Structure 1
Amino acid sequence: MSSYIYSKWHNSPENYPVEFYSELNSDRFETRKVEVFKDGSLGFASPKASSKTTKLGIAAVPPFSEIANQAEFDIKTITPQQFETKWKEATEK
């Protein structure tokens, strides 16, 4: 079963994304991802396509609590619908 997370990276370096929307499989590997950059532009990645510098992670996403304990990140679960809205925004240009 898929799960969906949103994270924000405080103080991300220039030209790096600041927000991440990820769809994870049951093993916590990303199956789709949207990144939001400082200028508001969007990148996306899936097994079949990607844009900008966005790529799927090659390792499982760490447990929610591990990410939440890092001061430079905010993280929360989101609904499938919230992910799909952002996915459509990134891919239907």
Structure 2
Amino acid sequence: MDYLHVHWRHEAPDAPVDIYSELDEDRWEVRKVEVFADGTAQYADDWRATGRTGLSEVPLPSFEEIAAQRALTPAVIDGAEFERMWARATGD
């Protein structure tokens, strides 16, 4: 698995500012956590989802393609960091 954190700079209150994704070898999202400016978090996996958060319907673009978008700052993270965010969002 690969793990990605994307910080999204915008001013829309109903859109997440931080997105954490667990990706399979083909870059399909397996699990996702979205964190909003007010600190609330929503999540999704194959079996459950909260709020409007859902897994992407297409594989995620490459790191370079994401980084080329001015409003997005991607970072590769490790599984432990993703698990911390997942636990925070799900209460698991």
User: What amino acid is the match of 1:50?
Assistant: A
Correspondence list, 1:36-51, <5 A: 36-51=35-50
1:14 positional shift: 2.2
1:85 positional shift: 0.4
Calculate the aligned-residue CA RMSD, in Å.
1.0
User: What amino acid is the match of 1:40?
Assistant: G
What 5-or-longer segments of structure 2 have no aligned partner? Answer: none
Name segments (4+ residues, structure 1) moved above 3 Å: none
Residue identity (%): 37
- Output the CA distance in 2 between the equivalents of 1:57 and 1:70: 18
The answer to whether 1:14 aligns with 2:8 is: no
- In the comparison of the two structures, how many residue pairs are matched? 92
**TM-score if structure 1 supplies the norm length?**
0.95
What 5-or-longer segments of structure 1 have no aligned partner? Answer: none
User: What amino acid is the match of 1:69?
Assistant: A
Do the aligned partners of 1:12 and 1:18 also contact (CA within 8 Å) in 2? no
1:12 positional shift: 4.6
Q: Which residue of 1 aligns with 2:89?
A: 90
**TM-score if structure 2 supplies the norm length?**
0.96
